[in-house]
Amino acid sequence: MASLTLKDIPAEIHERLKSSADSNFRSITQEAFARLQLSFDVEEAAATKLHQSWIDQAVASGPARPARKYQWQQIQRRALPRARGHQR
């Protein structure tokens, strides 16, 4: 397992970590690891929730119909000048 060393931790954060570790019957290292893991879990859950909302919106919008050739040509005529203007 890899190791990690933290340096110059502000006293307030160290004290909060120590207090939380005591409350959870963990060492400071175990508490730091648990909080680091929790931050990744929360981030992943938020991303999953966002992705699910996109899926729900797409499903609620009804069945998709493929764009016809003339529709793609209209999109292309509108988009290409905009894209060229942003390249500068």
Over the stretch 51-74, which tens digit does the pLDDT of each residue have? Answer: 999 889 988 888 778 889 999 999
Residues 71, 45 contacting (CB under 8 angstroms)? no
Is 25 domain-assigned? yes
Query: How many structural domains comprise the chain?
Result: 1
Q: What is the pLDDT at residue 87? A: 65
**Half-sphere exposure for 55 (CA within 13 Å, toward CB):** 6
Is 76 domain-assigned? no
Q: How much is the average pLDDT of 13-25? A: 96
Is 81 domain-assigned? no
Is 37 domain-assigned? yes
Residues 75, 67 contacting (CB under 8 angstroms)? yes
User: Residue 52 is part of which domain span?
Assistant: 10-62
Is 72 domain-assigned? no
